[in-house]
Structure 1
Amino acid sequence: MNIDLIIENKIAIITINRPESLNALNRQTLQEISVALSEAEKNLSARVIVITGGGEKSFVAGADIKEFADYNTKEGTKMARDGQANVFDKIENLRKPVIAAINGFALGGGLELALACHIRYASENAKLGFPEAALGLIPGYGGTQRLPKIVGKGLANELIFSSKMISAQKAKEIGLVNEIFPLSELMDKTKELANTIAKNSPLAITEAIAAINASDTEQGFEKEINAFGMLFESEDKKEGVTAFLAKRKPNFN
């Protein structure tokens, strides 16, 4: 097994654990991540999902180059299509929020994994980048699509064309990560955020994820309006408003 999944205090923590290869993504690891995501989504006690890397050096140092070195066009296309459908798009559209705790190198597919998450926290020693152009490739797990939406087209072009790595501090400056912390504090700070999110309405958060994901489509405003209206008849809305009026904290099931 290359993946560890634990659930504690309403938080599901998925740890990618291949320290000998800096947690690089091979087919087996991607399949295990997909299974872990499904388990965490179905588990009623888990409100928030955290993805991190094992050890203190790497979140995910990219895809496993040795595995695809001899691929042809058909195999490369299938690799990208399957990976996006089973892991990267799956994360982005999950019904529960996913936080990346980037504890070191996040390169290539590792950065794409972080980009697919809804929120990104990083350690101060993190290094982020897309080395694909130096290999004669481009990002294939959604990097060319998600990065421009987060940092803008110009910066996305620079990072992808140059293959250079940037520091956690630079990533914070350009909005690529939300916050940075000392490595020793990263998981505690990530869990702190996850616990704050977990106190809110899970149904409202699910609808917010879908509406935000539709924000760059023509249906975005309509998606928001319909979700907003639908929530008025939900038990979560009734509990939230009742608790507010009673000046107590809500208790969402």
Structure 2
Amino acid sequence: MTKPYVKQTIENGIGYIEFFHPAHNSLPGDILADLATSITDAGTNKEIKVIVLKSGGNRTFCAGASFKELININDEATGKVFFSGFANVINAMRKCPKFIIGRVQGKTVGGGVGLASATDYCMASKFGAIKLSELNVGIGPFVVGPAVQRKLGVSGMSQIAIDANSFYSAEWAKDKGLYTQVFESTEELDAGVKSFAEHLATYNPDAMREMKTMFWTGTDDWDELLAKRAAISGRLVLSEFTKETLKRFK
């Protein structure tokens, strides 16, 4: 696989939304836009009872923001638009009336931790270590922060946000509440996700919709909140510190 994509398949009432990018499943603006649209569409598709969010390949689940796009941001407006892509995906997941199950097969960084945190039930392999690396490049996990904090709590979120150079194990993430189960292999993970999703799809969809609304109570301000956070990141990405740091990734 060499070309980026977002695709959706439906099997036994499960809508599988898969994204891929050859740069370790990083997320440029077009992939973020396609993800937000796919999640919103799946939420209204009557054939789909439950959604599974996954990435292509067998290694990294998601490397976070596309460094290629970050390097090319030259004004605050463009920066805000780029980081708003993450806000739009998280808000699409939050507003989707169906449960979203996360399938994390490998390491996940930055914005990828935000995606995993915005799922309603997340399962991982033992290789699914997490890292919030944003502070390393002079930004900070502002847009994904509310979703991460909602799962890990203030203590857990601040720990990995400040210790921005360390990966935290899948078991650590499970202990903190991000992952519900950790499997020994990708094959076991896929079997576990499939079995759980298909069983969940037999439940009353009205009850699941009401439960999801209950779980996300208190987040009605996230459209405005995440937009403000995107503006902060869009400003910081223009700092001399960040520009110099990103040059090393060219």
Q: Please give the TM-score of this superposition, normalised by the length of structure 1.
A: 0.80
Unaligned runs of 5+ in 1: 218-253
Residues 11 and 116 of structure 1: CA distance in aligned 2, closer, same or farther (over 3 Å)? same
Asked if structure 1 preserves the Cα contact closer than 8 Å seen for 2:14 and 2:52, the reply is yes
Structure 1 residue 78, shift from structure 2 partner: 2.5
Output aligned runs, 1:37-116, within 5 Å.
37-71=39-73, 72-84=75-87, 86-116=88-118
Deviates more, 1:33-42 or 1:152-161: 33-42
Q: Would you say 1:168 and 2:170 are equivalent positions?
A: yes
Residues 124 and 26 of structure 1: CA distance in aligned 2, closer, same or farther (over 3 Å)? same
Asked if structure 2 preserves the Cα contact closer than 8 Å seen for 1:151 and 1:176, the reply is yes
Give the secondary structure class of the aligned counterpart of 1:60. coil
Work out the CA distance in 2 between the residues paired with 1:67 and 1:130: 18
Alignment partner, residue 236 of structure 2: none
Instruction: Pick one of 12, 15, 18 that aligns with 1:15.
Output: 18
Asked if structure 1 preserves the Cα contact closer than 8 Å seen for 2:29 and 2:85, the reply is no
Q: Which has the higher contact order (CA 8 A, sep 6+)?
A: 2
Deviates more, 1:159-168 or 1:66-75: 66-75
Give the secondary structure class of the aligned counterpart of 1:165. coil
Work out the CA distance in 2 between the residues paired with 1:150 and 1:83: 17
Give the secondary structure class of the aligned counterpart of 2:89. helix
What is the number of residues matched between the two proteins? 214
Alignment partner, residue 206 of structure 1: 209
1:1-36 CA-to-partner distances (Å, cap 9, x unmatched) read 611210000001111122x21111001111211222
Structure 1 residue 79, shift from structure 2 partner: 2.3
Structure 1 residue 146, shift from structure 2 partner: 2.2
Work out the CA distance in 2 between the residues paired with 1:39 and 1:215: 24
Alignment partner, residue 137 of structure 1: 139
Structure 1 residue 216, shift from structure 2 partner: 7.3
Alignment partner, residue 189 of structure 2: 186
1:211-245 CA-to-partner distances (Å, cap 9, x unmatched) read 1111578xxxxxxxxxxxxxxxxxxxxxxxxxxxx
Instruction: Pick one of 3, 25, 28 that aligns with 2:27.
Output: 25
Deviates more, 1:87-96 or 1:65-74: 65-74
Work out the CA distance in 1 between the residues paired with 2:50 and 2:14: 5
RMSD over aligned CA atoms reads: 1.6
Percent of aligned positions that are identical: 25
Alignment partner, residue 229 of structure 2: none
Work out the CA distance in 2 between the residues paired with 1:141 and 1:57: 25
Letter in 1 for 2:82: M
Work out the CA distance in 1 between the residues paired with 2:90 and 2:215: 16
Give the secondary structure class of the aligned counterpart of 1:99. strand
Give the secondary structure class of the aligned counterpart of 1:45. coil
Give the secondary structure class of the aligned counterpart of 2:8. strand
Letter in 1 for 2:76: T
Letter in 2 for 1:139: P
Work out the CA distance in 1 between the residues paired with 2:82 and 2:30: 12
Work out the CA distance in 2 between the residues paired with 1:176 and 1:145: 13
1:180-238 CA-to-partner distances (Å, cap 9, x unmatched) read 11211111101111112111110111111111111578xxxxxxxxxxxxxxxxxxxxx
Work out the CA distance in 1 between the residues paired with 2:54 and 2:143: 18
Q: Please give the TM-score of this superposition, normalised by the length of structure 2.
A: 0.81
1:56-96 CA-to-partner distances (Å, cap 9, x unmatched) read 10111111011122423322223223431x31111022101
Work out the CA distance in 1 between the residues paired with 2:147 and 2:42: 24
